[in-house]
Amino acid sequence: MNAESPRKNKLAFNTIVFPNTSSENDAVLLAKSIRKNGGNLSEFQIRMFQPAISKEVSLDAKRHLKELDVDIIQFKIKNEKLTFPFMSEAIAMAEAEKLGLNDSEQIVWLARNSVIIREPVELLLREKEQLRYRPVHHILIGSRYNEDKDAFWNLVYQSCRIDDDQIFPMRTHIDNIEIRPYFNAGCLVTRPESGIFQKYLNNFQREYLRDDFKRFYQKNELYMIFIHQAILSGTIISTVQKDMMVELPSSYNYPVHLHNDDRTENRPRVLDDIVTFRHEGFHQESDWMDKMPASRGLKKWLSDSLVHR
């Protein structure tokens, strides 16, 4: 008689943490927000991946994360890859997917500078769905849907083996520009058996030092910073059928640091009205409480939740 397979969790939250004050603040704040504001999702597993380098996450951060029942998992990375923008995150995403095969039906990847404000029910995949996502915040190196692809995106599509009939439009979060698929790397839900994150890592590691891409890095450093999202987007398009993807509402992954630039009809009055937001280390600014568009109660909770002040 065969032993029964262990029952899998519905989902697991995953992110990355680095051993520095800002990252540790982000990580603890994210974990606290899941546990406090996650509703029915608040008790699911939280994994935080840390590069296995000489320095580790501080004892204070470890204590807080342990109290929040967060698993800290180290992963190996070569020094030259550690310094390339978002390569660490790509490796961590693949590690999260690998672990998820054993114990999770779905994996949520959130950038560490994410905060959950209300129960994120839309993070649950429905039957036959393979991916839930948000588009990028603004266009930057993105490709306008009503214009021909430029040389950079032609190279991305060639690298990821994408045909024109796989392309569809989406709109950027803040400037509301119609673009070719360009997914935000900081808010994704998928099924581990899809292998999306491992394929993404394989593609990223194969292509990021290619001479053709290096020429773009030399022209504009934004290409180096965001090549990861371009390769991620190419990987998703080549792996997941459009009818198996769902775009999350604009109340998810809202970039509070771009609130003043937001001219869309979905611009929230205060952060209390959204589900999850992203930030750029607001806690590093001494006057952040004066600037943040949030209620007094939310700002107090954010302040009280920081591990380093």
Span between the terminal Cα atoms of the chain, in Å: 57
Looking at this protein, which amino acid is placed at residue 253?
A: N
Residue 80 has what pLDDT? Answer: 86
Residue 3 has what pLDDT? Answer: 46
Query: Left if phi > 0, otherwise alpha if psi is -120 to 50, otherwise beta: which for 86?
Result: left
Please provide the DSSP assignment of 256-272 as one string. Answer: GGGGGG--STT--SSGG
How many angstroms separate the CA atoms of 183 and 188, rounded? 9
Residue 2 has what pLDDT? Answer: 45
Residue 309 has what pLDDT? Answer: 66
Alpha-carbon torsion angle 97, 66, 254, 13, nearest 10: 20
Residues of the chain with pLDDT under 70: 1-7, 309
Q: What is the chain's alpha carbon radius of gyration, rounded to the nearest angstrom?
A: 19
9-40, pLDDT tens digit by residue? 899 999 999 999 999 999 999 999 999 999 99
Q: What is the DSSP letter of 280?
A: S
Exposure string of 102-111, with b = 16+ CB inside 10 Å and e = fewer, is eebbbbbbbb
CATH topology of domain 9-140+183-193+241-304: Spore Coat Polysaccharide Biosynthesis Protein SpsA; Chain A (3.90.550)
How many angstroms separate the CA atoms of 209 and 198, rounded? 18
Indicate yes or no: pTM above 0.85. yes
Residue 1 has what pLDDT? Answer: 38
222-265, pLDDT tens digit by residue? 999 999 999 999 999 999 999 999 999 999 999 999 999 998 99
